[in-house]
């Protein structure tokens, strides 16, 4: 495999040819990594929808040093040798990201106080970093009634940003997809075929891949805010999946089970519904220790022990 | 050892003089100090007949407000509890059922909401954190009780009465200056 040299925000890095700019930035890590709402490294074909990862390519390659005419989505653009990319060093990119955030929030309801995702929501983080406190739109937001898809998952279509991640999970992880995106353009909507229940062994992963609170765990619904629960790494013998999970405990009670997410909010391993929904007794799990939480996260709030 | 103040006197057991032994001058001296205090201006007041003037922004007992239609504003978001430096606030959220729309404003509400008044330091951070304008500190004093358990205030004490005339007035805390400050604060994270 040939290595190519690429400069992102004046930091030079050598990556394999065929890597995307986003993944090259993730190799560098830190502040130069563009935020991504729809790209998911474990889902094939994801990315290119939300436009939050737009970056500026100041120099296309060593052979053709012309800049790219428009901002490019870094999750879908492959690096070329000698490419110079600007992310946080370009005011143009920051301006565009601010506008994209505003676009994503056009139809997003202001119901963070109610939403179970608050505290671990990517859109919340994004709007906190780039968003405006005010909106310029005067039109009504589109509204839908919450739907039960299956007996374990609740769909709040109001909150959906149409990242298609959940559809890809269903496509690539389960053998029979029964939900998808209906309608076009502004009328797009995630739904199942006439409220058909989603009941596949791995359908629960939709909840974890959802960057916002559109798909939430019904067994955890309104039980507690995430920052009042304490996350623990745990595992169990499971025939269907690896059984490696994070338990969200309040006292001795296990309120929620999720997969383990890395620092970009992506699951390390997909877990099965058995582990996620059916095992909430402390005896079911071998606890490995407290989950490391990023220092800036609200989940670490009021936890004085070193998480 | 060096004295800490210059008021200390070295104690001695020397024999008292006659004037000292009859004690009368010393008693008179003491009484004159006591009697002088009778004519001083009183620093105490006859509470509860008399009450002191309160500051407009006095922070006393909390109230959970209802909106104009009488629905509870609190949606159990937990921001007051996480903002509370004394960790006095706890809550359990519940889901609003169909038909309860006239009781609760949002689809989630606080089923149980308690403030431990012994822990509370009346800093007002809960009021600042509240995104729903639901909790306010008022000019009411938290009354004394005989038992510690009676200081754990639940929703029965905290939520204001449904009756329009018995609502707790918090307009003094919502002056233009305060509202402007809150307006500025919204942008504080957007530097």
pLDDT, tens digit (0-9, with 9 covering 90-100), for B58-94: 899 999 999 888 999 999 999 999 999 999 999 999 9
C-beta atoms of A112 and B107 within 8 A: no
Chain-wide mean pLDDT for chain B? 88
Taking a C-beta distance cutoff of 8 angstroms, is the pair B168, B138 a contact?
Answer: yes
Residue B181 has pLDDT above 50, yes or no: yes
In the DSSP assignment, the letter for residue B153 is: E
B189 touches chain A (CB under 8 A): yes
Instruction: Give the number of A-B residue pairs with CB atoms closer than 8 Å.
Output: 44
Averaged pLDDT for residues A181-204: 73
Residue of chain B whose alpha carbon sits nearest to that of A225: B78
pLDDT value of residue B113? 96
Asked if the C-beta of A137 comes within 8 angstroms of chain B's C-beta atoms, the answer is no
Return the pLDDT at A190: 75
Average pLDDT of span A46-65: 91
- Give chain A positions within 8 Å (CB) of B187: 133
Instruction: Note whether A113 contacts B189, CB cutoff 8 Å.
Output: no
Mutation pick from A101, A115, A225 vs chain B, by most beta carbons of B within 10 Å, is: A225
Tell me: pLDDT of B187 over 80.
no
Note the pLDDT tens digit of each residue in B33-53: 999 999 999 888 998 898 888
* pLDDT greater than 60 at residue B116: yes
> CB–CB of A225 and B77 under 8 A?
yes
**Per-residue model confidence (pLDDT) at position A204:** 87
Least confident of A145-159, A269-283, A293-307: A293-307
The answer to whether the beta carbons of residues A280 and A268 sit under 8 Å apart is no
Residue B95 in contact with partner chain A when CB distance is under 8 A: yes
Which pLDDT score is estimated for A258? 94
Query: Nearest Cα to B88, choosing from B122, B56, B65?
Result: B122
Q: What is the pLDDT of residue A307?
A: 43
Say yes or no: A197 contacts chain B, CB-CB below 8 A. Answer: no
Residue the block writes with tokens 């509470």: B47
- Judge: A114–B107 Cβ closer than 8 Å, yes or no: yes
Range B147-157 average pLDDT: 94
The answer to whether ipTM exceeds 0.90 is no
Per-residue model confidence as pLDDT tens digits over A95-134 = 999 999 999 988 898 888 999 999 899 999 898 888 777 7
CATH 3.30.70.3270 fits B62-186, yes or no: yes
Cis geometry, peptide bond prior to residue B48 (ω within 30 degrees of 0): yes
Nearest residue of A to residue B77, measured between CA atoms: A113
Report yes or no: B123 at the A interface, CB cutoff 8 Å: no
pTM, full prediction: 0.82
Higher pLDDT, A250 or A183: A250
**Does A223 contact chain B (CB < 8 Å)?**
yes
Place of tokens 């925000």: A9
Mean model confidence pLDDT for chain A: 87
Give me the residue from B81, B87, B95 closest to A222, CB to CB. Answer: B95
Q: Which DSSP string do the residues of A158-197 spell out, in sequence order?
A: GG-----HHHHHHHHHSS---EEEES-GGG-EEEEGGG--
User: Among residues A212, A196, A194, A206, which one has the least CA distance to residue A170?
Assistant: A206
Domain boundaries, chain B: 62-186
Range list of β-strands (E), B98-186: 108-116, 135-137, 152-153
- B78 interfacial to chain A (CB closer than 8 Å): yes
Domains, chain A, ordered by start: 3-92 (3.10.20.740), 139-220 (3.30.70.20), 226-300 (no CATH)
pLDDT of residue A193: 60
């Amino acid at each position: 495999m040939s290595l190519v040299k690429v400069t992102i925000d004046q930091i030079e890095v050598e990556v394999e040819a065929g890597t995307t700019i986003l993944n090259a930035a993730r190799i560098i890590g830190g502040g130069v990594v563009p935020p991504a709402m729809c790209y998911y490294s474990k889902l094939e074909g994801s990315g290119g929808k939300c436009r939050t990862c737009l970056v500026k390519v100041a120099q296309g390659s060593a052979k053709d040093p012309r800049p790219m005419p428009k901002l490019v989505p870094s999750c879908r653009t492959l690096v070329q040798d000698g490419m110079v990319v600007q992310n946080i060093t370009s005011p143009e990119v920051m301006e565009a990201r601010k506008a994209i955030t505003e676009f994503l929030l056009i139809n997003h309801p202001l119901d963070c106080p109610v939403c179970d995702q608050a505290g671990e929501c990517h859109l919340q983080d994004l709007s906190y970093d780039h968003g405006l406190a005010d909106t310029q739109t005067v039109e009504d937001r589109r509204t839908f009634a919450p739907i039960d898809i299956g007996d374990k998952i609740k769909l709040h279509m109001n909150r959906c940003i149409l990242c298609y991640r959940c559809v890809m999970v269903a496509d690539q992880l389960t053998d029979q997809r029964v939900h998808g995106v209906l309608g076009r353009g502004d009328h797009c909507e995630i739904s199942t075929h006439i409220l058909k229940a989603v009941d596949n062994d791995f359908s629960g992963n939709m909840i974890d891949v959802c960057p916002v609170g559109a798909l939430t765990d019904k067994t955890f619904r309104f039980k507690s805010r995430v920052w009042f629960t304490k996350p623990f790494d745990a595992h169990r013998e499971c025939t269907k999946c690896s059984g490696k999970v994070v338990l969200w405990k309040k006292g001795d009670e296990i309120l929620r089970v999720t997969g383990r997410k890395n620092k970009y909010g992506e699951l390390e391993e997909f877990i099965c519904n058995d582990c996620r929904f059916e095992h909430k007794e402390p005896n079911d799990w071998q606890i490995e220790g407290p989950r490391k939480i990023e220092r800036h996260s609200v989940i670490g709030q009021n936890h004085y022990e070193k998480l | 050892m060096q004295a800490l103040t210059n008021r200390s006197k070295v104690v001695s057991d020397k024999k008292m003089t006659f004037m000292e032994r009859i004690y009368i001058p010393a008693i008179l001296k003491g009484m004159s100090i006591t009697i002088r205090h009778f004519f001083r201006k009183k620093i105490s007041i006859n509470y509860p007949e008399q009450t002191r003037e309160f500051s407009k922004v006095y922070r006393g007992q909390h109230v959970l407000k209802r909106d104009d239609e009488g629905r509870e504003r609190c949606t159990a978001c937990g921001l007051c509890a996480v903002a509370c430096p004394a960790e006095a606030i706890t809550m359990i959220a519940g889901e609003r059922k169909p038909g309860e729309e006239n009781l609760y404003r949002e689809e989630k509400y606080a089923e149980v909401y308690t403030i431990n008044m012994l822990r509370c330091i009346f800093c007002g951070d809960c009021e600042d954190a509240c995104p729903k304008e639901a909790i306010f500190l008022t000019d009411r004093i938290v009354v004394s009780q005989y038992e510690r358990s009676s200081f754990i205030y639940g929703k029965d004490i905290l939520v204001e009465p449904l009756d329009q005339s018995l609502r707790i007035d918090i307009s003094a805390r919502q002056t233009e200056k305060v509202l402007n400050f809150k307006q500025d604060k919204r942008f504080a994270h957007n530097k």
